[in-house]
């Protein structure tokens, strides 16, 4: 599947709804805020539609959404393409038996967890998050799915920060 | 394996957006016929009540409970919709999580059942479509699972209600009580306008503390909260009483 280069006319509307907040969470960071996109029902729907059009009919049975903003985009996509939704969460949130995957932060490490039994070997999966920066979180998500024998078909995000070279993880 | 991300690329030159009690061994329930088995055995009545934790004393009953009798424009759903049974049976109950004595209602198994998840959303959408609701407020994080699909289907905006320091813009904060101590919920001030009609969504209502904080946040900016909606209610924890006259609609009441 190729990266989205020919701009669909809906992209401009989506892009214009994303708010950039300087110096959050700390000085020097320009935060890409998708909450303003969610306030525009048409732009939000267009966002979901663009993903659904890409993934419907591709035999994807799992949409894995990364806590918490991945839940916002992942669940509508899962419902529309008829896939199950699997939340990938920070530690100690999921109540059942989990597998964990550590990943690097700028300072220190964090951990992503997934319920055992949620995904079966051989299932085709999509990973969804609002944004890809360094790719650390997405890589951890992919590893979790691959460890249980799923095939990660693609990772999908609303926004990429290409300077952070997240694509090198793929 | 093809692995490529994204829909559009930001030319933002400045770097990154930084990223913001184990269950006991006997909590893995075998799957049968594609569904999870909910254990009906060996509950112990807790010797004390815990506020703000989820628990159930008995296996979930299937019912849609509606306290909107004073709102004639909302149809009552006292007769159980046939979809409720599958929804209820798709919810997994896990004892002693997050700590001993708590019976946790796990909706993640519901999300694995595509029909039951679809039915859950449909039941809310059927209730709220065409009711001039322009805001669906979802409480972090499981409210983010049910809220956005409902918002999209009824043409409302989605407003995330979050833990502190997650929202980047100017926020309003509301404190609420936990069993020990307090927590805070935040909402972007410019997300909603006075006079808008709002729905609040969460996966479960226990004591009602979290929902009450969400109601207060919205009402502080002049929004009218039409109803609170949850998949599950734990009626023993009397969340409805804490919500007072604010209507609460649930699909499954665990009594």
Per-residue tens of pLDDT for chain B, all 255 residues = 333 333 333 433 333 333 334 334 333 333 333 333 333 333 333 333 333 333 333 333 333 444 433 333 333 345 689 999 999 999 999 999 999 999 999 999 999 999 999 999 999 999 999 999 999 999 999 999 999 999 999 999 999 999 999 999 999 999 998 877 899 999 999 999 999 999 999 999 999 999 999 999 999 999 999 999 999 999 999 999 889 889 999 999 986
Query: Is residue B153 reached through a cis peptide bond, with omega within 30 degrees of 0 on the bond before it?
Result: no
> Do B147 and B107 sit in the same domain of this protein?
yes
> Of these residues, B92, B127, B142, B240, which one is catalytic?
B142
Partner A contacted by B22 (CB < 8 A): yes
> Do B195 and B247 sit in the same domain of this protein?
yes
The answer to whether residue B179 is catalytic is: yes
**Residue B60 resides in a domain:** no
Q: Are A34 and A159 in contact (CB under 8 A)?
A: yes
Q: Assess: ipTM above 0.85.
A: yes
> Out of A47, A86, A154, whose CB is closest to B2?
A154
> Which of B35, B92, B109, B111 to mutate: most A Cβ within 10 Å?
B111
Judged against a pLDDT cut of 60, whether residue A22 lies above it is answered with yes
Give the model's pLDDT for residue B34. Answer: 37
The answer to whether residue A106 is catalytic is: yes
> Do B35 and B137 sit in the same domain of this protein?
no
CB contact under 8 A, A92 and B98: yes
For chain B, what is the domain count? Answer: 2
List the domain range (segments joined by +) for residue B196: 73-253
> Out of A41, A138, A159, whose CB is closest to B156?
A41
Q: Are strands A19-22 and A30-33 parallel, antiparallel or unpaired?
A: antiparallel
> Of these residues, A10, A53, A54, A69, which one is catalytic?
A69
Structure tokens at A8: 């669909």
Higher confidence at residue A81 or residue B14? A81
Give the model's pLDDT for residue B18. Answer: 33
**Residue B13 resides in a domain:** yes
Give the model's pLDDT for residue A105. Answer: 83
Q: How far is A57 from chain B (nearest CA, A)?
A: 15
> Do B116 and B181 sit in the same domain of this protein?
yes
Partner B contacted by A29 (CB < 8 A): yes
Judged against a pLDDT cut of 70, whether residue A147 lies above it is answered with yes
Judged against a pLDDT cut of 90, whether residue A8 lies above it is answered with yes
Q: Going by C-beta distance under 8 Å and a sequence separation of 6 or more, which residues neighbour residue A12? A: none
> Do B165 and B248 sit in the same domain of this protein?
yes
With beta carbons under 8 A apart, name residues in chain A contacting B10. 32, 159-162
């Amino acid at each position: 599947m190729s990266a989205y280069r020919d701009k669909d006319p809906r992209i401009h509307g989506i892009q214009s709804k994303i708010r950039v907040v300087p110096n959050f969470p700390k000085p020097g960071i320009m935060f890409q805020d998708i909450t303003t996109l969610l306030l525009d029902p048409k732009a939000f729907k267009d966002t979901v539609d663009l993903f659904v059009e890409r993934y419907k009919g591709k035999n994807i049975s799992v949409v894995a959404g990364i806590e918490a903003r991945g839940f916002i985009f992942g669940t509508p996509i899962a419902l529309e393409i008829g896939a199950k939704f699997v939340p990938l969460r920070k530690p100690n949130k999921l109540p059942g038996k989990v597998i964990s995957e550590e990943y690097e932060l700028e300072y220190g490490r964090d951990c992503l967890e997934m319920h055992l039994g949620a995904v079966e070997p051989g299932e085709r999966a999509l990973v969804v998050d609002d944004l890809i920066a360094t790719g650390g979180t997405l890589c951890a998500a992919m590893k979790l799915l691959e460890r249980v024998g799923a095939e990660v078909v693609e990772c999908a995000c609303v926004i990429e920060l290409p300077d952070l070279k997240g694509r090198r993880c793929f | 394996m093809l692995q490529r991300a994204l829909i559009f690329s930001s030319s933002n030159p400045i770097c990154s957006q930084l990223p913001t009690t184990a269950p006991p061994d006997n909590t893995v329930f075998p799957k049968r016929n594609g569904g999870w088995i909910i254990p009906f055995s060996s509950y112990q009545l807790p010797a004390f009540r815990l506020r703000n934790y989820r628990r159930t004393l008995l296996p979930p009953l299937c019912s849609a409970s509606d306290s909107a009798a004073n709102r004639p424009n909302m149809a009552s759903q006292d007769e159980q919709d046939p979809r409720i049974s599958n929804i209820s049976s798709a919810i997994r109950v896990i004892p002693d999580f997050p700590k001993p004595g708590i019976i946790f209602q796990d909706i993640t198994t519901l999300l694995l059942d595509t029909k039951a998840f679809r039915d859950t959303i449909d039941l809310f959408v059927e209730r709220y479509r065409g009711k001039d609701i322009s805001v669906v407020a979802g409480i972090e994080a499981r409210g983010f699972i049910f809220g956005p699909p409902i918002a999209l289907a009824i043409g409302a905006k989605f407003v995330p209600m979050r833990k502190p320091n997650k929202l980047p813009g100017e926020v309003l904060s509301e404190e609420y009580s936990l069993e020990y101590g307090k927590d805070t919920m935040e909402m972007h001030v410019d997300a909603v306008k006075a006079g808008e009609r709002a729905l609040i969504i969460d996966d479960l209502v226990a004591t009602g503390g979290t929902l009450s904080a969400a109601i207060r946040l919205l009402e502080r900016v002049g929004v009218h909260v039409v109803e609170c909606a949850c998949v599950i209610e734990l009626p023993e924890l009397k969340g409805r009483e804490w919500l007072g006259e604010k209507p609460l609609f649930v699909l499954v009441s665990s009594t």
